[in-house]
Structure 1
Amino acid sequence: MGKLAQAVTFILLLGYPLAVYLGLNYLPGNLLAPLLALLLLLRLVTQKQPLRLLALPVLFGLLLALGSFVARQQHWLLYYPIVMNLCMLGLFGSSLLKGPSMVERLAKITEPQLPDAARPYLRKVTGLWCLLFVINGSMATYTALYTSLATWTLYNGLIAYLLIGLLAGSEWLYRHFWLTRS
């Protein structure tokens, strides 16, 4: 049951922008915020990875959802993508300062014996991820403050994910088809 709950909460949190859009448009009153808080709490409880990797963004999400409910400020729910991008920027950026870089850590999961020559490349890729988190966080902030809910949902629920997929896919293609031939 734990793995099922973990998978369900992961999928639901990926759909957070759509849930906010639908909830704010179709749920009565202030019902969305406690539902999102419950979902975030469930994600925190079912998470199997080291808790420190997930705790900060989930706790901030909980604070935003509960604060939104108590203060009756539903627009606070729009700030969660900003929190996620800031947390990811902090995670990836701090790995550049204290090493090994986050992309190197992730690469070592599938390839434990990485050559030392790969480290500079992996640091550059980690820097690219940091740039993406700055761009996504800036756009999440802009859409939360200055655009319609539909535009916020489009950017944070589709375009941001496409940019993440584009960077991940491009890097994978480059690494596997270009670097292996060099």
Structure 2
Amino acid sequence: MRVVNIVTRCLLSVFSIAYPLLWWLSPEMDWLTYMPFGLAFLWFFQGMQAVGFQRFFAFFMSIMLGVVGISRGLDWMYWYPVAINVFMLIIFGGSLWAKQTIIEKFARLQDPDLPAEAIAYTRKVTQVWCAIFIFNIVVTVSLIYFNRLDAWALYTGVIAYIIMAIVMVGEWLIRPKHNRTF
């Protein structure tokens, strides 16, 4: 069952990343009408394995995508990247009010005994990720509102991931400098 969960997550990731570009590059969109059903199935299956808020979100996404597919209201698919960023913002932002931020939990996988300075650093990294998700939401909603769908596809399918990669690499390069002070 674990392999199936990994495959489901990988497929969700690949299709979630690829679909804005497929949407943009496809001269005929008939085959795209099936994509909401495939994503709805993957989200439903993910929901069966998840717990708590992640389960709720997975079922919500499954229902939303099912309705999009049945209604053939494919314009709603433009909001899919917004929903993903809102979900990530809720997870990361919500952890700022918890005892441990999500980044601190990841850091504790490598070092269970984090000093106070490291905990403060992980909180700042979590805040940076929240800012990235807010930025992605604002840009994506603006592109949808102004009907800049080519720019929407380019941003949600390429630029947003480049920004996130830059943040990940930047944090990875900065982290050793902070570790010296702990």
What TM-score, normalized by structure 2, do the two folds share?
0.82
From 9, 33, 37, the equivalent of 1:34 is: 37
The SS at the match of 2:96 is: helix
- Structure 1 residue runs of 5 or longer lacking an equivalent are none
Q: Percent identity of the aligned residues?
A: 27
Contact 1:64 1:80 in 2 (8 A): no
* Aligned twin of 2:178: 179
* Aligned twin of 1:109: 109
* Aligned twin of 1:14: 17
Deviations 1:88-141 (A, max 9, x none): 111111111122112111111122221122111211111111111110111121
Report 1:129-168 matches (<5 A): 129-168=129-168
Contact 1:30 1:72 in 2 (8 A): yes
Deviations 1:31-76 (A, max 9, x none): 333233223334444x5xx533633443332233222233331110
Measured on the aligned residues, the alpha-carbon RMSD in Å equals: 2.5
Deviation at 1:8, TM superposition (A): 3.2
Deviation at 1:16, TM superposition (A): 3.3
Contact 1:56 1:87 in 2 (8 A): no
For residues 69 and 125 of structure 1, the distance between their equivalents in structure 2, rounded to whole angstroms, comes to: 37
Q: 1:10 and 1:54, CA in 2 relative to 1: closer, same or farther beyond 3 A?
A: farther
For residues 22 and 65 of structure 1, the distance between their equivalents in structure 2, rounded to whole angstroms, comes to: 21
Contact 2:47 2:56 in 1 (8 A): no
Q: 1:161 and 1:147, CA in 2 relative to 1: closer, same or farther beyond 3 A?
A: same
The SS at the match of 1:97 is: coil
Contact 2:23 2:32 in 1 (8 A): no
Q: 1:29 and 1:104, CA in 2 relative to 1: closer, same or farther beyond 3 A?
A: closer
What TM-score, normalized by structure 1, do the two folds share?
0.82
For residues 102 and 28 of structure 1, the distance between their equivalents in structure 2, rounded to whole angstroms, comes to: 38
Deviation at 1:24, TM superposition (A): 8.4
* Aligned twin of 2:64: 64
Deviation at 1:79, TM superposition (A): 0.7
For residues 99 and 84 of structure 2, the distance between their equivalents in structure 1, rounded to whole angstroms, comes to: 21
Contact 1:93 1:130 in 2 (8 A): yes
